[in-house]
Amino acid sequence: MEPVFALLWRAGDNPGFVPAATSIKRMSESAEIAPHPHASRAVKVRSAIFFALYTLLGIGHGLLSLLVGPFLSFERRYRFVNLWTRATMWLVRHLNHVHVVVEGLEHIPADRPVVVVSNHQSQWETFYLQLLISPQATILKRELLWVPFFGWGLALLKPIAIDRSQPSRALKTILRVGKERLDEGISIVIYPEGTRQPPGTIGPFTAGGAMLASRAGVDVLPVVHNSGDHWPARSSLRLPGTIRLRIGAPIPVAGKSAKQITAEVEDWIRGHYPGELRARPDLAPRDALRGLDAADPAGGTGTCPRP
């Protein structure tokens, strides 16, 4: 097993290096680990160790990023800040046995930015997508930037911070700042459900990402995964098993309304979910199309900085 520090240094020399994805691509289907329906004592102990190491690394690297980051170019700063992200992914793989299978890497454009639209189940995807698609800017609620260490490092990566209590202003911020980032060659990541959903479910989509892509004239890159099965939201447990992440072909936006784009992306995500989707009785069919006039048209990460 390659030492973690060797992996991190090698990652620094190669901004496209993603430890989990590259190693998992070579893993056979038979090597997958089935999820555990009930956490054993060993899983709980390893989860506690992960939380302690993850927190200590985050505090230390957050302070270091504040000292070093302002003096680096954005590209180098992005890579430096995300060393903690890489360490976190290494830990959860080797300590907690959470493996990753990525399908559709060939769909990620290498020559242009895109608006990445993903479902949202846990904090895992906010980490992993930082490594998989870079550089990128994430749309997030501004309160995350106030979190000590975590938020301070995040602020160095040109995020698009919005005030979700003022949806009209938030949408204007996304369209204005988002287009600026795309013009700089930086992809935008948005979670149109706006908050984390239970495993096996997809929430209603808002249309902010589609509106941004339409205004900027860039493709939408759909992404779907089942991270909540192994990195459950609002839980300290990290459950052994395999997270599957699927990337679709870029969806052109020319000649389509934001409502049409949103529906097309949602259909793809629902149709390619890596597992069985459970019905949400609290959601009406096609509730996602309310996104154009929803209370929160921006979507966002909806992610709390706790694991």
> Does the reported pTM lie above 0.75?
yes
* Contacts with 142 (C-beta within 8 Å, 6 or more apart), sequence order: 161, 162, 163
Tokens 């949400």 correspond to 280
* Contacts with 6 (C-beta within 8 Å, 6 or more apart), sequence order: none
pLDDT at residue 256, rounded to an integer: 97
Is 302 domain-assigned? Answer: no
Contact predicate 96/229, CB 8 Å: no
Q: Count up the domains in the chain and report the number.
A: 1
pLDDT in single tens digits along all 307 residues of the chain: 444 434 444 444 443 444 444 433 433 333 344 445 568 999 999 999 999 999 999 999 999 999 999 999 999 999 999 999 999 999 999 999 999 999 999 999 999 999 999 999 999 999 999 999 999 998 888 998 888 888 888 899 999 999 988 989 999 999 999 999 999 999 999 999 989 999 999 999 999 999 999 999 999 999 999 999 999 998 999 999 999 999 999 999 999 999 999 999 999 999 999 999 987 656 554 443 343 333 344 455 433 333 3
CATH number at residue 282: 3.40.1130
Is 304 domain-assigned? Answer: no
Domain limits for position 64? 4-293
Q: What is the pLDDT of residues 152-183, one digit of tens each?
A: 888 999 999 999 889 899 999 999 999 999 99
pLDDT at residue 39, rounded to an integer: 81
pLDDT at residue 299, rounded to an integer: 54
**CA 148 to each of CA 61, 136, 153, 154, 236: distance values in angstroms, whole numbers, following the listed order:** 12, 22, 9, 10, 19
Identify whether 285 is preceded by a cis peptide bond (ω within 30 of 0): no
Q: What is the pLDDT of residues 98-116, one digit of tens each?
A: 999 999 999 999 999 999 9
Q: Of all helices (H) and strands (E), which one includes residue 98?
A: strand 98-103
Closest by CA position to 60, among listed 70, 72, 68: 68
Q: Give the single-character DSSP code of 188.
A: E
In 108-237, beta strands by DSSP E: 115-118, 136-141, 160-162, 187-190, 220-225
Is 116 domain-assigned? Answer: yes
Contact predicate 271/119, CB 8 Å: no
Q: Which two three-digit tokens encode residue 184?
A: 């700089």
Is 300 domain-assigned? Answer: no
